[in-house]
C-alpha cells in the first residue's frame, strides 16, 4: 500500500533528524580521535577549578598605575581570552594595580602569551644596526624584492650603513642620524641583548631613539622615534602569505589594516624611506620593545595594509593578530605568580543542579501523563531527543570552541525544560481545539500544526533575542546562562518540527489514537462534542443544555442539502402521524 503524502513528509523529517544526530556524534568522535576531545562537556572554573595568574604592571621609575588604564587592560585581556576560545574565565583587579586572571583547566602556552603580552606595537625607522656579538656586519647586496608595494615584509638583515650622510646639527625627522649622539653610540657599542628585558625597552619614550634587538637576539639596532603607533590599527588577522606572483606560500604572517590616520602616517613614512639608502631605508616593526621584522622599503605603502612576516607558526600568528586586533595594553605586564585553584562550588553543586533538573523533568513527565495520557509519551520522547541533541551540541562546542559548562549554564538547561515542554503543550492543545471543531485526527494534526507553529516560532524568537542580548551585554557566568538558553531555544524548534509533528502525523493514522481511545488523550468524551458526520455529534453525558443547544446548531450548520431534505421529510412524516 502506497504511503500518503503526510506519511512521506513525516518519515523524511525523521530521517533528517537522524542525520543531524549522527552528524553530531561523528563530529564529536572526530574531536575525540584527532583533537584530544572528550565525550563529556568541559566544566568551567566554578565546577572544575583551574589556573590563577596574577599580572603585575611594569612601570618606569616614579610612575604609578592609572585606574583607567588598569580597567582598560582588564577589558582588553578579557577580549583576548575570549578570542582564544577560553570560556567562563574571570578577569579582575587586585589591590588597585595587579590583574588576576582565572582560567578553567590548564592553559596552553599560547593562551599565556595572549594574556600577558602587552602587544605594544610601534613602527620606528632604523638608524643603525650591528650583530649582537659586536662584530660589524658585512655589506649585503640589496637584492631582496619581497617588500613590494602594500607589503611590509622583507629581508630582516640590515643593509650597510657606510653611505649615511653626515649628521645634521639637530634631527629634522625620525630618520635623521643626528639622533645618534656620542653617548648613545657608546651605549650601543657595549649593549648586550641579554639585558633587554631589564632596561625596559617596552616602556621606552616614543619621542626618543631606542636601542633594542631582534626577537632572537641576533641583531641590535638604534631606532628613531615612533612614527606610527599600534593604536592606529583598525584590524588585524593572520593567514598564509602570498608571493609576488600571487601564489600562496606556506609562510604565516599577520595582515594589518590601519585606520585613516594610520594610513596617512604610514604612507608618509614609507614615501620618505624609499628615497633613502643603506640601513636608513629600513623601518622596524617593534612589538613589546623587540624588533620582530625590519624590512627594506622598496616602494611606498599607500593603502594602509602592510603585512608582518617572520618566523611565525599558525598559532603564534593568530596570537599576535588577536593582540593587535583588540588593541595594545596601556601598560606592560609580567607574570607575578601562577597557581592552581580549586573549584569554588565543586562537584557537589553540580550534582545538586543535576538533581534539580531531574526533579523538573519528573514533574513535567508526571503532568504530561496525567493531562495527556498516552499522548504524554510523545512529550517524553521529544524531551529525550531534545536532551540528546543539546548534549551533543554542547560537547562539540566544548571540544572545538573551548566552551565550558558552568553552574549558570546548567541553570539555563534546567529552565529550558519548561520552555521546550511548553511548545509541545501549545501544539497538542491546538490539535484538541481542532478535534472539538469536528475534524478527524489526521486533519486536526495538520490544521493544529499550522496554527501552533506560528505561536511556537514567535515564542522561541523572543526567547532567543532575550538570550542573545543578555549574552552580548553580560560578562562572566551570566553569559553561560544566556548561551545555553539560546542553544536550547534553537533545539526546541528543530525537535518540534522534525520529531514531534512527524510523530503526530504517524500516530494519527493508528487506530488507538485515530479512534480516540480513552487512554490516548484524544477521547471525544473528554474533549466535548465532536462532529462525527451525518449532522450528528457524539456528546459526553456531562454536556449542559446550553452546550447541547450549541452543538445542535453546529450540526444543522454542517448539514448537506441531502441531509437537510431528509430531516425535513422526517419532520413531515412525524407530523402526519
For residue range 454-476, list pLDDT tens digits in order.
Answer: 999 999 999 999 999 988 887 66
- Sign of the CA dihedral with 405 first, then 406, 408, and 410 last: positive
**CA pair distance 232, 327, nearest whole angstrom:** 9
- Sign of the CA dihedral with 201 first, then 204, 206, and 211 last: negative
Report helix, strand or coil for 480.
Answer: helix
Cell of 492: 526546541
**CA pair distance 550, 259, nearest whole angstrom:** 74
How big is the chain, counted in residues?
A: 577
Report helix, strand or coil for 217.
Answer: coil
Residue 206: pLDDT above 60? yes
Residues 6 or more apart whose CB falls under 8 angstroms from that of 204 comprise 210, 289
Domains of the chain: 5-42+345-514 (1.20.1640.10), 51-115 (3.30.70.3220), 118-332 (3.30.1360.200), 530-576 (no CATH)
Within a 10 A sphere around the Cβ of 31, how many other Cβ atoms? 18
Residue pair 502/526 in contact (Cβ under 8 Å)? The answer is no
Residues 6 or more apart whose CB falls under 8 angstroms from that of 258 comprise 228, 232, 233, 234, 265, 266, 304, 305, 306
Mean pLDDT value across residues 421-448: 83
Cell of 292: 620582530
Residues 6 or more apart whose CB falls under 8 angstroms from that of 40 comprise 395
**CA pair distance 14, 153, nearest whole angstrom:** 55
∠ CA 199-201-205, nearest 5°, is 115
> What is the side-by-side order of every strand in the sheet holding 332-341?
90-94, 98-104, 50-58, 332-341
Mind listing the pLDDT tens digit for each residue in 240-299? 888 777 788 888 888 889 899 989 999 999 899 999 988 889 988 888 788 887 888 888
Mind listing the pLDDT tens digit for each residue in 472-522? 887 667 788 888 999 999 999 999 999 999 998 888 888 888 777 777 777
Mean pLDDT value across residues 344-352: 68
The pLDDT value recorded for residue 526 is: 60
The pLDDT value recorded for residue 554 is: 53
**CA pair distance 552, 566, nearest whole angstrom:** 16
| In 83-173, beta strands by DSSP E | 90-94, 98-104, 121-131
Task: Residue 394: name the closest of 22, 27, 91, 18 by CA.
Answer: 27
The interaxial angle of helices 67-83 and 314-325, nearest 10 deg, is: 140
Mind listing the pLDDT tens digit for each residue in 99-143? 888 888 777 777 777 676 666 778 899 999 888 664 444 443 333
Residues 6 or more apart whose CB falls under 8 angstroms from that of 348 comprise none
Amino acid at each position: 500500500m502506497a504511503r500518503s503524502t503526510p506519511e512521506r513528509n513525516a518519515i523524511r523529517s525523521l530521517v533528517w533528524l537522524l542525520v543531524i544526530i549522527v552528524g553530531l556524534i561523528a563530529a564529536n568522535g572526530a574531536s575525540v580521535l584527532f583533537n584530544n576531545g572528550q565525550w563529556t562537556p568541559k566544566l568551567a572554573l566554578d565546577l572544575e577549578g583551574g589556573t590563577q595568574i596574577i599580572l603585575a604592571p611594569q612601570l618606569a621609575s616614579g610612575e604609578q598605575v592609572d585606574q583607567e588604564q588598569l580597567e582598560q587592560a582588564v577589558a582588553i585581556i578579557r577580549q583576548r581570552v575570549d578570542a582564544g576560545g577560553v570560556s567562563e574565565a574571570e578577569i579582575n583587579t587586585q589591590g588597585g594595580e595587579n590583574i588576576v586572571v582565572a582560567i578553567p583547566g590548564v592553559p596552553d602556552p599560547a593562551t599565556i602569551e595572549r594574556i600577558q603580552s602587552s602587544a605594544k606595537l610601534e613602527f620606528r625607522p632604523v638608524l643603525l644596526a650591528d650583530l649582537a656579538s659586536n662584530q660589524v656586519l658585512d655589506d649585503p647586496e640589496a637584492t631582496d624584492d619581497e617588500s613590494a608595494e602594500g607589503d611590509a615584509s622583507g629581508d630582516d638583515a640590515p643593509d650597510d650603513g657606510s653611505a649615511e650622510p653626515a649628521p645634521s646639527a639637530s634631527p629634522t625627522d625620525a630618520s635623521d642620524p643626528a639622533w645618534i649622539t656620542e653617548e648613545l653610540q657608546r651605549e650601543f657599542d657595549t649593549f648586550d641583548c641579554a639585558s633587554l628585558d631589564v632596561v625596559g625597552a617596552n616602556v621606552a619614550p616614543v619621542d626618543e631613539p631606542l636601542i633594542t634587538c631582534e626577537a632572537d637576539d641576533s641583531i641590535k639596532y638604534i631606532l628613531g622615534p615612533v612614527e606610527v603607533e599600534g593604536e592606529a590599527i583598525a584590524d588585524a588577522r593572520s593567514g598564509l602569505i602570498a608571493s609576488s606572483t600571487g601564489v600562496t606560500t606556506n609562510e604565516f604572517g599577520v595582515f594589518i589594516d590601519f585606520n585613516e590616520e594610520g594610513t596617512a602616517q604610514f604612507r608618509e613614512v614609507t614615501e620618505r624611506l624609499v628615497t633613502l639608502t643603506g640601513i636608513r631605508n629600513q623601518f622596524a616593526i617593534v612589538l613589546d620593545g623587540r624588533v620582530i621584522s625590519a624590512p627594506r622599503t622598496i616602494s611606498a605603502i599607500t593603502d594602509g595594509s602592510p603585512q608582518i612576516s617572520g618566523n611565525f607558526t599558525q598559532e603564534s600568528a593568530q596570537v599576535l593578530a588577536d593582540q593587535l586586533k583588540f588593541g595594545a595594553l596601556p601598560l606592560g605586564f609580567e607574570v607575578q605568580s601562577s597557581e592552581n585553584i580549586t573549584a569554588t562550588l565543586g562537584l557537589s553543586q553540580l550534582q545538586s543542579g543535576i538533581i534539580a533538573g531531574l526533579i523538573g523533568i519528573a514533574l513535567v513527565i508526571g503532568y504530561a501523563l496525567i493531562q495527556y495520557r498516552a499522548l504524554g509519551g510523545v512529550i517524553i520522547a521529544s524531551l529525550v531527543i531534545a536532551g540528546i541533541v543539546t548534549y551533543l551540541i554542547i560537547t562539540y562546542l566544548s571540544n572545538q570552541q573551548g566552551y565550558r559548562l558552568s553552574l549558570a549554564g546548567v541553570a539555563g538547561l534546567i529552565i529550558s525544560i519548561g520552555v521546550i515542554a511548553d511548545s509541545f503543550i501549545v501544539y497538542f492543545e491546538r490539535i484538541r481545539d481542532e478535534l472539538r471543531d469536528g475534524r478527524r485526527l489526521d486533519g486536526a494534526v495538520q490544521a493544529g500544526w499550522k496554527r501552533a507553529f506560528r505561536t511556537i516560532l514567535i515564542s522561541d524568537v523572543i526567547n532567543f533575542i532575550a538570550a542573545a542580548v543578555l549574552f552580548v551585554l553580560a560578562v562572566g557566568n551570566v553569559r553561560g546562562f544566556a548561551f545555553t538558553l539560546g542553544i536550547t531555544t534553537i533545539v526546541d524548534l528543530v525537535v518540534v518540527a522534525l520529531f514531534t509533528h512527524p510523530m503526530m502525523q504517524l500516530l494519527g493514522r493508528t487506530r488507538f489514537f485515530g479512534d480516540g481511545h480513552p487512554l490516548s488523550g484524544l477521547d471525544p468524551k473528554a474533549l466535548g462534542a465532536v462532529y462525527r458526520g451525518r449532522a450528528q455529534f457524539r456528546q459526553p453525558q456531562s454536556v449542559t443544555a446550553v452546550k447541547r443547544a450549541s452543538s445542535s446548531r453546529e450540526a444543522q450548520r454542517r448539514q448537506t442539502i441531502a441531509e437537510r431534505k431528509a430531516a425535513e421529510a422526517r419532520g413531515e412524516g412525524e407530523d402526519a402521524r
